[in-house]
């Protein structure tokens, strides 16, 4: 499964590149925990993105390619320290619960959340790492990559580190 957290999903939706994830990873759908879905319901663009979600695998198709899986956060207190729960959102906690013991990868951009995930042995990928993967696998051209970087900055106020920009755009 390819699990998307709220920040990663919303960034790529805002720039119209959500299907790049499908293309780059050669998958037909992505998965979000119900906690991410609940967070997205608060987004200004929820009405626009809501048609992409399905709650049943049988309903997935080319237009509905985000599968919402129920997660129960009742057991989170046993799995996370108090400090971790203070720094993590419900979407992130849901992602962690969803992939627990599965070996699946979470696409998440929050640095603190990635550190917690790595500390728990979970696989995580940030936006720069994903785009570097796309570049190295020739999924996007250098011009397309420049446009994505510009669009993320303009439409999502996303800032790449100088090191990431250099790796991506050279």
Give the chain's domains with CATH numbers: 2-128 (3.40.50.1010), 131-169 (no CATH)
pLDDT at 82: 79
pLDDT at 77: 65
In sign, the C-alpha dihedral spanning 83, 86, 92, 94 is positive
C-alpha 9, offset from chain centre: 5
CB atoms within 10 A of CB 44: 6
What residues pair up with 53 in beta bridges, in sequence order? 66
pTM of the model: 0.92
Phi, psi of 136 (to 5 degrees): -65, -30
pLDDT at 76: 67
pLDDT at 74: 77
In the chain, which residues have pLDDT < 50? none
pLDDT at 97: 87
């Amino acid at each position: 499964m390819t699990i998307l957290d709220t920040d990663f999903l919303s960034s790529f939706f805002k720039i119209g590149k959500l299907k790049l994830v499908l293309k780059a990873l050669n998958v037909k759908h992505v998965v979000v925990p119900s906690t991410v879905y609940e967070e997205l319901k608060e987004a200004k663009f929820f009405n626009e993105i809501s048609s992409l979600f399905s709650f049943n695998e049988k309903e997935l198709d080319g237009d509905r390619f985000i599968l919402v899986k129920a997660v129960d956060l009742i057991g989170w207190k046993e799995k996370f320290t108090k400090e971790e729960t203070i720094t993590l959102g419900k979407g992130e906690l849901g992602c962690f619960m969803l992939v627990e013991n599965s070996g699946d990868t979470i696409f998440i951009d929050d640095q603190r959340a990635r550190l917690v995930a790595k500390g728990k042995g979970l696989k995580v990928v940030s936006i720069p790492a994903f785009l570097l993967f796309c570049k190295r696998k020739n999924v996007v051209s250098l011009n397309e990559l420049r446009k994505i970087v510009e669009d993320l900055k303009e439409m999502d106020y996303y800032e790449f580190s100088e090191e990431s920009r250099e790796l991506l755009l050279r």
